Amino acid sequence: MTDKPAILITGASSGIGATYADRFARRGHDLVLVARDGARMEAMAARLRQDTGVAIDVLPADLTKPDELSVVEARLRDDPAIGVLVNNAGASLGGGFVQQSTEAIAQLVALNTTAPVRLASAVAPRFARAGSGAIINIGSVVGLAPELGMSVYGATKAFVLFLSQGLSVELGPRGVYVQAVLPSATRTEIWERAGADVNALPAVMEVGELVDAALVGFDRREAVTIPPLHDATQWEAFQAARQAMLPGFAQSHAAARYR
């Protein structure tokens, strides 16, 4: 046990989640690892315990199954040592919307949206009472780009971004930091699981570089971190344009162009 907050990471068995586990362990944080593949997490935990000396609990769970999700929720509600939630677990789907089965879409929505909002809901009241804590939500630049043709996946990641920004407005004044991380294409197993060839993509970021950049944003307390975006003023202009519309939404009558 360290004097630093423990970190609960979902999707921790590989890719971005496993890299977050490595980086936070090397910063001296105890970990709670959550994913379906318990054996894989145990092997990683054994290595990290030996390398870093931190305490690591392994909590196997399929977050699309309500009974297993509820176990993780209870851990977040009841364990005061956990001070950071990393909502990383996620998946994608191959093919276009008309080729994707309704069942597969429902599973994707359950993992990419229902699980992170329920886990955030489980831990946020405790964080707010304590006046401290952090929630890191892994989104995607696809959530800003319907032109990419990943309609359901992009919609789930747009949800993650909006949720993060909304929670930042609500919880920030109460001492809780919320960060949305928006990766672009990153070399993880998500591509293979969706039936895609990551090597066919024009540009792919290595997972270590992605997480290290995201942690720079975390340390700076950025509300939204977009590691692949070189020109930060583009995001600032996007935000400014969106916010400039807000006063125009409170109207008693439709705009003249609709009459």
End-to-end, the C-alpha distance of the chain in Å comes to 66
Q: pLDDT tens digit string along 129-176?
A: 999 999 999 999 999 999 998 999 999 999 999 999 999 999 999 999
Q: Which structural domains are found in the chain, ordered by start?
A: 6-233 (3.40.50.720)
pLDDT at 149: 87
Q: Is pLDDT above 70 for 194?
A: no
d(CA 89, CA 169): 24
Name the most confidently modeled range: 73-82, 186-195, 196-205: 73-82
Q: By the 8 A CB rule, do 134 and 177 touch?
A: yes
Quick one: average pLDDT of 193-216?
83
Query: Which residue reads 């009472």 in tokens?
Result: 129
pLDDT at 15: 93
Of the candidates 227, 224, 210, which has an alpha carbon nearest to the alpha carbon of residue 17? 210
Q: By the 8 A CB rule, do 31 and 24 touch?
A: yes
Give the contacts of 149 (CB within 8 A, at least 6 positions apart).
96
CA atoms within 13 A on the CB side of 48: 29
Q: Is 153 among the catalytic positions?
A: yes
Q: pLDDT tens digit string along 205-256?
A: 899 999 999 999 999 999 999 999 999 999 999 999 999 999 999 999 999 9
Phi and psi dihedrals of 224, rounded to 5?
-135, 125
Q: Is pLDDT above 80 for 69?
A: yes
Query: Which residue reads 């599973």 in tokens?
Result: 107
Which of 20, 153, 177, 258 is flagged as catalytic?
Answer: 153
Q: Is pLDDT above 80 for 1?
A: no
Helix (H, G, I), strand (E, B) or coil at 202: coil
Average pLDDT score over the chain = 94
Query: Which residue reads 């586990």 in tokens?
Result: 21
Share above pLDDT 90 across residues of the chain, in percent, rounded to a whole number: 88
Query: Which residue reads 């597969």 in tokens?
Result: 104
Q: Find the helix or strand (DSSP H, E) in which 75 lies.
A: helix 66-78
